[in-house]
Structure 1
Amino acid sequence: MAITKTDVKLMQPERLTDNDDGGGSMTGLPVIDGEINNLFEDASRINRTYGNVSMRKAFLKIDTATADLYLDAHAIISAQPKDPNVSGLLFTTEDFYDERKNSRQRVEAFTMAGARTGIKLRGNQNKGQQSIICFSGNGSVSAPASGETYMLQIGEDITTRQFVKVTDVTETNEVFTYTQTIGQNIGVKTFPVRQWIIELSTELERDYPNIDPHPWKTQLTFVHDTNPSVSSKYYGTSQLTEAIAAGATSINVKETFSPIIPTASSETALIDQKPAGLIDTFIPTGTPISLKFNTTNNVLYFPTGILPGSITLTSSGHEFKDKNERLERADASVIAFEQVQIDYVNGVIQLLENSYKSSNQTITYTPAAVRTYIPHTGSIHISDNNRNFTYVLQLEAKPARRSFQLSYQYLNKWYTIHDDGTGNLLGTGSGQINYETGSVAVTLNAQPDANSVVFYRWTDVDDFDAGEAESFVGNTPTVLNLKQKDITPGTIAVTWTQGSVTKTATDNGAGALIGDSAGGVAYEMGQVRIDNANPDSGTDWNITYTYNPPAQKQSSTIAIAANTNRANVTFALPAGIKPGTVNFTLKTRFKRKAKRLFESDLVEYKETSLQFFDDGDGNLCFDLTTMEAVGTINYATGAASITGTAILSDKKKTKERWEV
């Protein structure tokens, strides 16, 4: 007996609802053709205002009493709803018994968790919030944008994941403070950040804890980027825009996309913006430097910023290099320092977990500084003929490390890939970049949309010339901060063990160390500089001295006349000053200029403060390392003078470094 049209039926599931348990297995009830609301309910006014996703499960059945075979069974949507705000799609989970909550997970899995972003939560974010406060101190981190999706996760606990969609973003510039401990000294530091108040489409489902803002400490909750994921195939219809002729190999339709989840769009006006933005560029400022560190300490402080990809740590006969902001062994796929945070800008490495701890390890790196720069740009116009996963680029100018960024559009959302400073490309894609030749090979996580643009930008370092190196011969001076200040001149004695022999140096009462090491003393500030001592490992400095009990000190503020020709600065202090007790701050203001392409020169005025002290012998100094006399003071009369050419020469050099 033949299978007829009436034998092909659409069958109802156990529950025709949008509840979590909607769906289920097939029943014996057919979906009556032509009956109103036979599968879906009417769209309410609330759903028309806020949007809604309604899903119904149905089963295709050949309802005959025989075992006749029905070939090429299929289902289509022959027409879309007449309401332009309503659309329909078909998809299958290939599960006979699943319910709506399972199907919903498949639909919502169009994105998957990606890499950690440079966006950090500002403190704790509590359950029920529909906005979160975030910040970033890294200028190269892309700001959140309306429509983007992020994933929040506490540490490595995947059960705490929540995907959140951004509906609005407000950005401000803030300055945060944090404490930094070096030895027994605790100082308060500041760091500027960009802060964002991010409005979300849904409330937080749980508390997400985090620390107070800090430039490099480990976060408790991480903000992950998301990558596109093809979790299901959807089938729909689209209207023809042109009639189809017989034998045609292509057709023109109104659109090839259909909404899955209702969304709203918003527009934000941006003024006074550069088309390609700005990029923070790492500029090498010298040749590689080798330093010895005690890596049993959790935090290593470098005297300068660090060029990404230039770190080499030697320990236990192995070499480790920085890669993907981690320290990896060069001769094997071993990560000895599994949890490392490298702050290249400020020159700080935090070792959270270290299996190669040692009190004497050598680290070589290239010093660098960061400059904000207008980037070079390039683009690839995407058509149906060049929609690929992989693209090869040849940059005209050699790229600076950590300056390359590539953005592409997939399903009308932008995704970004960037280099890590060691030749690898990270983000919503992968690849390699050669800093010497400018060649780039990049693989995207998804094929970019047709009629879109792949946009990339980078900066180069050819505009910068290395300045003359200032040579240094001898040991690095050591500065010791005494517990007391106002030290009595002529009472300091420093002893240490060098080559199993006890060495001794004393001060001469005039701000200098004599004996087994030269050096200097700032009596008022309680600081001792030791120039050429190399104590044995594991030994301590021993210092004896006499200090004056706290006395009533005099302080005053003196206005200095404008000085634009580097003339000597003269002023008067009260008469009868005790030698070694002078300590004051001179505030200066200088101009610096930067030449810019296609724009007028950037001129700005920078304020800085110089700390001066006397050496107890009538000289004024501002650098304990050299104890160079830059002025004089008459203790009897209080007359003081500072040589203008001495204190302003360094500022002139700073200005010259800014000129490009």
Structure 2
Amino acid sequence: MTILESDIKLVTTQVMDDVPEGGGAPTSTVIPDGKSNAIMKDISEVDRAQGDVSIMKVAATVQTLNTDTALGGTIGITRPPLDPNVSVTLFVTNDFFDRRAAIQSRIEAYTTPGEEFTGYLLANHVQGQRSMLIFQRPGATPPNVNSTLQISGGGVSEAVRLTEVKVEDRTYSYSTGSGFVDYQAQVCVCELQDGLKHDYAGTAANRLFERTQTAATINRMLVADAARFYGVSRLVVNATTGDLSVKVDRIDTQLAPTSTTEISITDTSAAGSSIALVRSGVGIVTLTTGALFGPNATFTLGNPFYAGTLSIATGAGTITDDGGRLKLGALTIGTASYVGGTLTFASDAPQIGGTKAITFGPAAAPIELADSASIAVNAENRRVNYPLTILPPPAPGTLRVAYRAGANWYELADDGAGRLRGADSSIGSGTVDYTTGTVAPTLGVLPDVGSEVLYFWGAKANYRDRSGVLPSAVLIRLALDNQAAQASTIAVDWNDGAARHASDNGSGVLTGDATGPVNYATSSIDLKPNTLPASSVAFTVAYSHGLPEAKAFPAPARDVDGGITLNLGKTNIAPRSLALSWNLLLMSTGGVPADMWVPQNFASTKTITDDGAGKLVDGLGVEFGTITYATGVAKLYPEAVVTVPVPQWAVNQLGILGTVLSPALPGAFRNTLTGYTYVPLNATLPADASALVTADFRVAGAGTAKSQVFNQPKLSIQLLPNASEVGVPGSVNFTVGGKTYFDRAGALYTDLDPATGAATQAGSYDYATNTASLDVWPASASSTVTVNSLLTALSGQPVEYVVFRTPVAPISPGTLQLLATKLNGGTVNVTADLMGLISGANVRGTVDASTGVVKVRFGDWVTAAGNESEPWYHADAVGSDGKIWKPVPVFASTIRYNAVATTSLPVDATLLGLDPVRLPADGRVPIFRKGGLVVIGNTKRLPPAVVSNGQTLSAGRERLSRTRLIGADGLAIETGYTRNLDAGELTITDASDFAQPVIYEHTTEDMLTLTDVSIDGRLSFASRLSHDYTAGDTFVSSVVRMGDVKARVSLLFDQQSWTGQWSDSLIGNPADPTFNDIDYPITVTNKGAVTERWRIQINGSGTAYNLIGEHVGQIVTGQSLTADCEPVGPSGVPYMRIPAAGFGSGGWPAGAVIRFNTVAATFPFVVIRTVQMGAETVLDDSFELLVRIGVDRP
């Protein structure tokens, strides 16, 4: 006896209502084929108005009176509803008895918590609050609009979706004990889709950006792939026999209803930022601590440190760092924050005592605007490996690789040790070589065709390690109250345990117990004591001064010889009292085109003095003119030579731009800034109205004697005396007088306690001039300065290409406006057209409205010939049309854009009965996946006809997979005909009970394995189609795999007594005797068996038993051991047959238990109907479910 089509049934479950207790175990109630509302209730007007999700559990079953196997069963939706606002999805929990509440939780497991977010909850948040504050380091990546985060704390957790994100830069302060120091932080103000369901403890703002251990955590949400969904899509392009792929209208389905709204994206930076990790000293910094290392302990190093340089020698072994992890040998015992300069030991870390020397390579963590590149993904180059060489190489810890798969964006990030990691290992992995610049990401899945693989990184071109530069001598700067000090009258006295004295030699130099220069015009003294005095020492300065004079010469005229005659308006000028200053204009750009010149700070004001003999000289003795003291007339020659950082550019192939941005060239040749070289360039006084010469002097004559006391003056050290570069906060570390000083937010500290992070504030640091001012220093110590760490930066980051993606997509066509400032001061202001093209003066680009990816180049295509000497020329960059890209770079920080985006607004979870926050923002989930099974089928019908016995109906096509005869009442007719599927014919044998006229429905199908799924709807298969399929009336269904289905007894054992626990393994001792299931097995049938755990409980007499099921309860009482037991179930046939012979001939001990399990020939699954908001379009709608099985042919 084989399995017939009529033996395959759909049955209800215990509760066929969309309520929390809905579902449960399958029943024997058959769901009629074609009957209206047999599974789902009607759609109400309220459902149409606000959206609805109905979740119903049903089951497919084989109802034969044997245990024949239904081979390789599948379930799928073969025809969707006609109403475009209604969709149907299948879902499987593999739980025979679960209810709607549990099913809902499984559906919402589409996402799961991933890594902890780079920020923490700022302050406490309360139930019902619809906003959230996230505290982050400046430059950290904020969360995206429409992203989902999970908050956990206090034993509860919940997922929240962000509907709006505003990033604010805020200033906070912390106490040093003697005052307050400001620091900057980034705060993300996030609006939530729904109010918080619980209270959460936050963390107060702190300069270490560390979350309190007991406070709530924030985690990113990842697509867990734990919930798989099955649905159906319509074929949109005809397919023919032998094809290996087809194209469908969608690869996803609407699971949660949403509405759409437009949001404005305004004044948003296109140049994303990242925190770079740049080595700031070639040496090693050493700290010593006797504090105990152990569980949850945190230690502070004072400065950021470079990955791979940490070493702590302990009695238990050497502790090192590896990609942000603290390692003791092969054991991970904690985490290392390179940026924060902190070490945090894990909760299970071993305790390590004793004195420990902590050594590390210092680093800085500047906020760096991200450079970017992209590789366009097409059908030909689609793969999981997308290597790219970035020149100059990226700074450690800055690289991010983003890719789009299945309409979701995934990101890999550099861990600072050369490894690319995702929030989850399934997202991908890879490496980055900081020396060669080669990035080798391996994506977790194939990216979508038509998308982009995006690369973002921070460059090191703007940064310099200045720890090897000789600093200025330690000095105490004394500014006298009166200008125009007289030469040879200055005397400085102090006492540091011995009387000390220094005086000027009349030529602007101190001699005696201190040295240093004296500026007579400004009356400033740079005192360099031979031995450092205590910080409490007072200095007394005696001097004489005259009456200071000043005169300005705006836009002075040039003489015939190019000089400038300056009449001071006074006679008898005192020698060594004249100082002339004028502004400088560079006369060249060192061979760099004006469009590519990056302005930098340089000595743009020149100051000279007279040498007392009538010559005007600078500090190096270079002559610039003369002064006649008697007449007060000076002659100035303002030409000077200044050392200027000149940008160095290189042309490299970087990424693939696509045909729009590079029409005649397959690769993308980019002009990238590789760094700066200091070059001496000519400069002079401008020839326009901006020119200004100023003169400070005094007239000869007797001076006025003065005395001035300086109490506790500061010690001043210029760590970078001869360059106009800006210091990077957090990179300063130097030693003077045996003490080590480091910076925190502009303050200088010493005597760091690594265990607590406490340190003594000792002064301040001016990053603009790289000058340290100390209030505290050791007395009588050496004044030698050792710079352990100092990173400096040159301003401006020029780019000629940028790729970015908008935080919300899709965006409305024609709404993207891009603005930028060119290096030469011009502006770019352009708007994309409706086709996504960006074109304007010095700018070309594209925008993909569906993904929000924007690619822009700044410059123009020009004829290559004649430009061979230009720095932007490269022979390989010349296209087949003879054109080459001439860059017109812009400042990355000025690239901003405006756009209008479309976003989805899910229905409130309490109304929906499903929490959409745990689902994608648009409510859509994928239904096709690589490796999954699909059925492609085309169903056609003959017109209604009145048929009679012996009549044959022909489908007009052969090799059918199935047919149906449908009566005039809409119900399927199951008897009264025979079929020849190969011939495509159906012959009537008995039409007496037919509801005439009837419809002959016939279907051709192929079952195939998916090898690839593209976002554009292209499905690729492992084998070829065996039929032709027409677009429009052919459907492709992803199907649930039932596997082989048959009823069986899956387990049997006995035990001495019942413990009250349903266990699938023996508890205690086995019973004696034992049930003989070898010769007398318990038997079941496909129709009668249910999935259940049973126990035979021997009664007190030892001659009878009760039969009890875990879910169905007690169904047999007092059954004799000597009689066969065949309890009849709701299907009308026995659940099973228990042969009496299996008990043997003797009695059984009272209380003994025989445990066995039965498995039904039944497969439960879940049908989800989603109603999108909108008007009804179909009066009487339906969808089609199909259960397909194979049978063993006799």
What TM-score comes out, normalization by structure 2 length? 0.39
**Corresponding residue for residue 311 of structure 1:** 310
Q: 1:514-542 deviations in whole A, cap 9, x for unaligned?
A: xxx953233389xxxxxxxxxxxxxxxxx
What residue in structure 1 maps to residue 207 of structure 2?
215
> Counterpart of 2:825?
none
In the alignment, the residues of structure 2 paired with residue 28 and residue 656 of structure 1 have an alpha-carbon distance, to the nearest angstrom, of: 77
Matching of residue 176 in structure 1 with residue 160 in structure 2 = no
Gap change, CA 1:294 and 1:398, over 3 Å in 2: same
SS at structure 1 position matched to 2:76 = coil
SS of the aligned residue for 2:253 comes to coil
Query: How far 1:626 sits from its partner (Å)?
Result: 8.2
Deviation track 1:85-119 (CA, whole Å, cap 9, x = no partner) reads: 22111222222212222222222222222111212
1:129-140 equivalences under 5 Å are 129-139=129-139
**Per-residue deviation, residues 292-315 of structure 1 (Å, max 9, x unmatched):** 222528765556443344333333
Distance 1:52 1:168, change over 3 A: farther
Structure 2: distance between partners of 1:584 and 1:248: 82
Total equivalences in the alignment:
530
Identity %: 22
Tell me if structure 2 keeps the 8 A contact 1:283–1:371.
no
Q: In 2, distance between residues paired with 1:473 and 1:311?
A: 30
Residue of structure 1 in register with 2:274 after alignment: 279
- Counterpart amino acid of residue 115 in structure 2: A
Structure-to-structure mapping, 1:362-441, within 5 angstroms: 362-368=358-364, 370-381=366-377, 383=379, 386-388=382-384, 390-428=385-423, 429=427, 430-441=429-440
Name the residue aligned to 1:495: none
Within a 5 Å distance, the mapping from 1:135-174 to structure 2 comes to 135-139=135-139, 141-154=140-153, 160-174=156-170
Counterpart residue number, 1:461: 460
Q: Distance in 1 between matches of 2:220 and 2:260?
A: 21
Q: How does 1:584-595 map to 2 (within 5 A)?
A: none
Distance 1:7 1:279 in 2: 63
Contact map agreement 1:396 1:438 (CA 8 A) in 2: yes
1:354-413 deviation per Cα after TM superposition (whole angstroms, max 9, x unaligned): 73344441312133351523414233515487253x554433432211110011223323
* Conserved? CA contact 1:171–1:196, under 8 Å: yes
Q: Report if aligned partners of 2:310, 2:358 keep a CA contact under 8 Å in 1.
A: no
Offset of residue 625 of structure 1: 6.9
DSSP 3-state at the match of 1:431: strand
Corresponding residue of 1:11: 11
Contact 1:89–1:236 (8 Å) recurs in 2? yes
Per-residue deviation at 1:419? 0.8
* Bigger fraction of residues in strand: 2
Check conservation: 2:18, 2:54, Cα contact below 8 A. Answer: yes
Query: How has the CA–CA distance of structure 1 residues 50 and 567 changed in structure 2, closer, same or farther, with 3 Å as cutoff?
Result: farther
Distance 1:454 1:21 in 2: 46
Hey, what's the Cα distance between the residues in 1 that align with 2:315 and 2:97? Answer: 59
* TM-fit CA distance, 1:242: 1.9
For 1:283 and 1:69, locate their aligned partners in 2 and report how far apart those are by CA, in whole Å.
Answer: 66
Give 1:21's aligned residue.
21
Give 1:228 shift.
2.0
Candidates 510, 516, 521, aligned match of 2:534: 521
Do the aligned partners of 1:375 and 1:458 also contact (CA within 8 Å) in 2?
Answer: yes
- 1:252 corresponds to: 247
Equivalent pair of 1:137/1:191 in contact (CA under 8 Å): no
Structure 1 residue 240 corresponds to structure 2 residue 244: no
Separation in structure 1 between the aligned mates of residue 311 and residue 201 of structure 2, nearest angstrom = 35
Instruction: State the one-letter code of the partner of 2:331.
Output: V
Q: Show CA shifts across 1:575-617 (max 9, x none).
A: 99776377999xxxxx9799xxxxxxxxxxxxx999999xxxx
CA distance in 1, matches of 2:344, 2:124: 23
Partner of 1:124: 124
2:352 paired residue number: 356
Aligned to 2:954: none
Per-residue deviation at 1:423? 1.6
Between 1 and 2, higher relative CO (CA 8 Å, sep ≥ 6) is seen in: 2
CA contact (8 A) 1:53 1:261 kept: yes
Q: 1:174 deviation in Å? A: 1.9
Match of 2:332 among 317, 330, 335: 335
Q: What is the aligned counterpart of 1:294 among 268, 274, 289?
A: 289
Change (3 A) 1:319 1:73: closer
**Separation in 2 of the partners of 1:468 and 1:103?**
62
The match for 1:101 is 101
Separation in 2 of the partners of 1:262 and 1:43? 14
- 1:66 CA drift (Å): 5.9
Please name the residue that 1:206 is paired with.
198
The answer for the alignment partner of 1:543 in structure 2 is: none
* Distance (Å, rounded) in 1 between the aligned partners of 2:182 and 2:298: 18
Tell me the distance in 2 between the aligned counterparts of 1:263 and 1:127. 25
Cα distance in 2, alignment partners of residues 460 and 584 from structure 1: 35
TM alignment of 1:528-567, pairs within 5 A: none
Please say if residues 91 and 233 of structure 1, whose CA atoms lie closer than 8 Å, have aligned partners that are also in contact: yes
**Offset, 1:212:** 0.6
Distance in structure 2 (CA, Å) of the matches to 1:459 and 1:392: 18
Q: Is 1:279–1:375's contact at 8 Å kept on the other side of the alignment?
A: no
Displacement, 1:421?
1.0
Label 1:239 to 1:314 Cα distance change in 2 as closer, same or farther (>3 A): same
In structure 2, the CA distance between the partners of 1:426 and 1:507, relative to structure 1 (3 Å rule), is farther
Determine the C-alpha separation between the residues in 2 that align with 1:74 and 1:612. 75
Which amino acid in structure 1 is aligned with residue 232 of structure 2? T
Aligned-pair Cα RMSD in Å: 4.6
Partner SS, residue 96 of structure 2: coil
**Kept in 1: contact 2:464–2:793 (CA 8 A):** no
Q: What do residues 619-650 of structure 1 show as CA deviations (whole Å, max 9, x unaligned)?
A: xx95457899xxxxxxxxxxxxxxxxxxxxxx
Q: Taking structure 1 as reference, are residues 352 and 80 closer, same or farther at Cα in structure 2, changes over 3 Å only?
A: closer
**Superposition deviation, residue 146 in structure 1:** 2.5
Distance 1:457 1:426 in 2: 14
Q: Matched residues in 2 for 1:164 and 1:397: separation?
A: 40
Write out per-residue CA displacement over residues 41-98 of structure 1, whole angstroms, 9 at most, x where no aligned residue. 2334444444433211111123455666655543321221222122111222222212
Which residue number corresponds to residue 256 of structure 2? 261
Determine the structure 1 residue equivalent to 2:37: 37
Q: After superposing the two structures, state which structure 1 stretch, 347-356 or 223-232, moved more.
A: 347-356
SS of equivalent residue, structure 1 residue 83: coil
| Deviation of 1:657 (Å) | 5.0
> For residues 426 and 178 of structure 1, do their structure 2 counterparts lie closer, same or farther at Cα, with a shift above 3 Å needed?
farther
Instruction: Work out the CA distance in 2 between the residues paired with 1:383 and 1:295.
Output: 61
Distance (whole Å) between structure 1 residues aligned to residue 535 and residue 725 of structure 2:
35
**Deviation readout 1:301-331 (Å, 9 max, x if unpaired):** 55644334433333338433333433323xx
The answer to whether the Cα contact below 8 Å between 2:725 and 2:794 also exists between their aligned partners in 1 is no
Secondary structure of the corresponding residue to residue 332 of structure 2: coil
TM normalised by structure 1 equals 0.68
Q: Give 1:24 deviation, angstroms.
A: 0.4
8 Å Cα contact 1:151/1:225 also seen in 2: yes
Task: Report if aligned partners of 1:125, 1:207 keep a CA contact under 8 Å in 2.
Answer: yes
Closer/same/farther in 2, CA of residues 49 and 41 from structure 1, 3 Å limit = same
**Change in 2 beyond 3 A, CA 1:565/1:462:** closer
- Tell me: CA distance 1:401–1:49, structure 2 relative to 1, closer, same or farther (3 Å): farther
What amino acid is aligned across from residue 198 of structure 2 in structure 1?
R
- Paired with 1:243 and 1:519, the residues of 2 have a C-alpha distance of 90
